[in-house]
Amino acid sequence: MLLMTEDANLSLLRLLQLSSASLPIGAYAFSQAMESAVHSGWISDSDDARQWLSLQMTHSIASADAPILLRLMGSLERDDLETFVYWNAYSLACRESKELRLADVEMGAAMKRLLENVDLSFPCIDRKEICFCAGFAVAAVQWKILPRMALTGLFWSWLENSIAAAVKLVPLGQNAAQRLIGELLPIIQPAIEKAELMDDRFVGSGLPAIGMASAWHESQHTRLFRS
């Protein structure tokens, strides 16, 4: 019987803390363009939501956020602040609309404040705007969370918040939401492997419809979410 060491168990608990929907960073306020997609009729049921989220997970999170998180963590472990600053700026440059960029900056700022309040040191960099993955990387490295586990936490955090948005917007019942989570969980492992193998030249998002929906959301007359 394999037993986790005390350090490994603490790292797991820290990962759960970092990935929790209750983390006070305001992720619940952002739908990542889903609200606009529902408003436009692109998403009307659970099947539509599954397709929307699976494509986003595979062609956005796995090809941009996740590989960027790995590079941010690596730069921190090497104490390479120049590279950390580069990938922080790269993450913000990947956002295809004002609202998607706002979500990244707002959650990044909230994460930085949170980490400083729990006595984690944030790198001294001459940049006011911090992406969410930069804060996630700082916490993961200082809490000794392994890179693959950090990726798992990142995907789960994104998925849980996305499902919460779908419950309100599609709308979905709680049982349907749990079924949807079960259908999407098997995609996470291949997505992690894709992120781990991603060459620097190919890091970036490639879903124009999400950028369009997010841009339209800026002028949507009534809305529940900020993006």
CA 141 – CA 133 distance, rounded (Å): 12
CA 214 – CA 220 distance, rounded (Å): 10
Task: Give the predicted TM-score (pTM) of the model.
Answer: 0.94
pLDDT for position 1: 43
pLDDT for position 196: 98
Spatial CA neighbour of 204 closest among 52, 97, 62: 62
- H/E stretch holding 209 reads helix 208-217
Tell me, what amino acid is at 151? L
pLDDT for position 125: 78
CA 34 – CA 79 distance, rounded (Å): 37
pLDDT for position 220: 83
pLDDT for position 8: 83
Q: Domain extents for the chain? A: 29-217
pLDDT for position 26: 87
pLDDT tens per residue, the chain (227 residues)?
445 687 788 999 999 999 998 899 988 888 999 999 999 999 999 999 999 999 999 999 999 999 999 999 999 999 999 999 999 999 999 999 999 999 999 999 999 999 999 989 888 777 679 999 999 999 999 999 999 999 999 999 999 999 999 999 999 999 999 999 999 999 999 999 999 999 999 999 888 889 999 988 888 877 888 77
Question: What token pair was written down for 156?
Answer: 């789960």
CA 161 – CA 134 distance, rounded (Å): 19
Question: What token pair was written down for 129?
Answer: 């705007």
Strands (E), the chain: none
pLDDT for position 178: 97
- Ranges of H-type helices in 3-97: 6-19, 34-39, 46-56, 66-77, 81-93
CA 219 – CA 173 distance, rounded (Å): 28
- Is the CB of residue 191 less than 8 Å from the CB of residue 61? yes
- Is the CB of residue 143 less than 8 Å from the CB of residue 184? no
- In the CATH scheme, what is the code of domain 29-217? 1.10.4190.10
Tell me, what amino acid is at 227? S
